[in-house]
């Protein structure tokens, strides 16, 4: 799981930079696609982190 998370984190960072550069070049639609996909990846990473942390805390209390 950690390898996949690191890969997704790398792809999200690259997507943000690529989307911003493409938008600055004047291609609004494809820049929005890159930024949207990278935002979805960030949401997935953050939600999985919160889920794992909550699961770990629940195991500590039991």
Whether residue 21 has pLDDT greater than 60:
yes
Residue 22 CA to its chain's centroid (Å): 19
Euclidean distance between CA atoms 10 and 3, whole angstroms: 11
Whether residue 29 has pLDDT greater than 60:
yes
Euclidean distance between CA atoms 28 and 40, whole angstroms: 18
Whether residue 25 has pLDDT greater than 90:
yes
Q: What's the pTM?
A: 0.74
Whether residue 8 has pLDDT greater than 90:
no
Confidence of residue 26 (pLDDT cuts 50, 70, 90): very high
């Amino acid at each position: 799981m950690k390898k996949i998370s690191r890969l997704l984190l790398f792809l999200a960072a690259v997507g943000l930079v690529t989307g911003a550069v493409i938008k600055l070049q004047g291609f609004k639609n494809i820049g929005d696609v890159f930024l949207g996909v990278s935002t979805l990846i960030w949401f997935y990473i953050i939600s999985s982190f919160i889920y794992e942390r909550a699961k770990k805390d629940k195991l500590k209390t039991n």
